[in-house]
Amino acid sequence: MSGWYVAPPYREGQCADALGSLDAVFALEGEPVASDQLSRVRRVTLGAQRFYVKCYHGAGKNPLRRWFGRQRVQAEWENLLAFRSWDIPTAPLVAYGLERRCGAFARGALVTAELERTRDLAHLARARDARLADPRWVAQVSRRLAAATRAMHARGFAHNDLKWRNVLVSDGAEPKLYLIDCPNGGFWWGPFLRYRIVKDLACLDKVAKHHLSRTRRLRFYLDYAGRERLNAADKERIRRILRFFAGRE
């Protein structure tokens, strides 16, 4: 496919000019946030609103990816739309699309609205934020994260990069939680899904084990599994989670 879509609230005023086409989005200037061989991310201010603009200029190391398969930019916007349909909070999707030339992927972009007064969990961990030592706050975030993760996995979907940096939480005593940045997520089945589920949970626990108690980590798993006690299958899965990154840290 080739095309460009802008959500209805952003089709008028200053946003309409700045976000109205792929050419316009690629021309936007803003604060650099991240970049790699395939994409770059800028934080752009338009009027009173701020947006994250992710521009893809590559398809991957394999040259055939330009012609075949779902492009990363398409996967990212489709996954965010799926989260919304599953009632998993995520960043509002403002605009997205891609361009093909002679049938091959040329470039693509997606724009999300900034979620004000939020921080990712990895930032809180690096800053030794006091909230991570508040049992009530941690319990609320843990329950919300467990519910979102369960909602994905119950549909056969794995995030595939479910790290603390991709989980945003809002300020305040009643934190809201958002999942973001999911270009590698997808649907799996059978043993492939079971492996990806373990990977998702191991990615979360990789940082959690340094900041949360064993009791709190176990409570997260029980909330995720929807049980009060572990059964034999749970115990085996937990062993796999704990072994997943062994020798790779």
Domains and CATH numbers, the chain: 3-113 (3.30.200), 118-243 (1.10.510.10)
pTM of the complete model:
0.91
pLDDT at residue number 68: 72
3-state helix, strand, coil in the chain (%, to 5): 45, 25, 30
pLDDT at residue number 211: 96
CA max distance for the chain = 58
C-alpha 174/C-alpha 155 separation (Å) is: 28
C-alpha 149/C-alpha 41 separation (Å) is: 25
C-alpha 74/C-alpha 60 separation (Å) is: 14
pLDDT at residue number 62: 66
Q: Give the tokens for residue 129.
A: 């934020």
Residues of the chain with pLDDT under 70: 1, 59-65, 247-249
Contact 100, 15 (CB under 8 A): no
User: What are the b/e assignments for 98-127, b being 16+ CB within 10 Å?
Assistant: bbbeeeebebbbbbbbebeebbbbeebbee
